[in-house]
A and B are shown apart, each in its own frame.
Chain A
Amino acid sequence: MADEIRSSSGEGSSGGDRPARAPRPGGPGGREGGRKFFRRKKVCKFCVEKIDFIDYKDVRLLAGFVAESGKIVPRRLTGVCTPHQRRLSTAIKQARNIALLPFAGRAS
Chain B
Amino acid sequence: MNRTYELMFIVRPDMAEEDLEKLISTLEAQVTTSGGTVKSMDKWGKRRLAYAVRGFYDGLFVLLIAEGGGDLIHELERRLRVTEPVIKFQTVRVDLAQKRLAKIKAIKDAKKKTPPPAPSPAETGSEPAAAAAAV
B64, CB-defined interface residue at 8 Å: no
Selected from B48, B59, B92, the residue in CB contact (under 8 A) with A56 is B92
Are A94 and B92 in contact (CB-based, < 8 A)?
yes
Q: Of B50, B88, B104, which is within 8 A of A107 by CB? A: B50
Bound complex: CA A100 to CA B63 (Å)? 13
**B50 and A100 form a contact (CB under 8 A):** yes
Whether B101 pairs with A98 at a CB distance below 8 angstroms is no
Beta-carbon nearest neighbor of A103 in chain B: B51
* Interface bits A73-96 vs B (CB < 8 Å: 1, else 0): 000000000000000000000101
How many B residues, CB 8 Å from partner?
A: 15
Cβ of A103: which chain B residues have Cβ within 8 Å of it? 50-51
Q: Which residue of B lies closest to A87 (CB)?
A: B97
Tell me the complex Cα distance, A56–B6, Å.
11
Known contacts A52-B101, A53-B101; is A97 also within 8 Å of B90 by CB? yes
Residues of A within 8 A of B53 (CB): 99
Interface residues in B33-66 (C-beta closer than 8 Å to A): 48-51, 53, 59, 63
B86 interface residue, CB < 8 Å from A?
no
Chain B residue contacts of A99, Cβ below 8 A = 10, 49-51, 53, 59, 88
SS class, residues of chain A in contact with chain B: loop
B8 close to chain A: CB less than 8 A: yes
Quick check: A108 and B48 within 8 Å, CB to CB? yes
Chain B residues 77 to 111 lying within 8 A of chain A, measured CB to CB, are 88, 90, 92, 97, 101, 104
Give the CA-CA distance A98 to B87 in the complex, in Å. 10
Partner of A108, one of B50, B63, B104: B50
With known contacts A53-B97, A56-B92, A57-B63, A96–B104 Cβ distance under 8 A = no
Chain A hits for B104, CB < 8 A = 52
Shortest beta-carbon contacts, A-B, top 10: A102-B50, A99-B49, A98-B90, A99-B50, A97-B90, A102-B51, A101-B50, A98-B8, A108-B48, A53-B101
Could you list some 18 contacts between A and B, CB below 8 A?
Answer: A52-B101, A53-B97, A53-B101, A57-B8, A94-B90, A94-B92, A96-B50, A98-B8, A98-B10, A98-B90, A99-B10, A99-B50, A99-B53, A101-B50, A102-B50, A103-B51, A105-B51, A107-B50
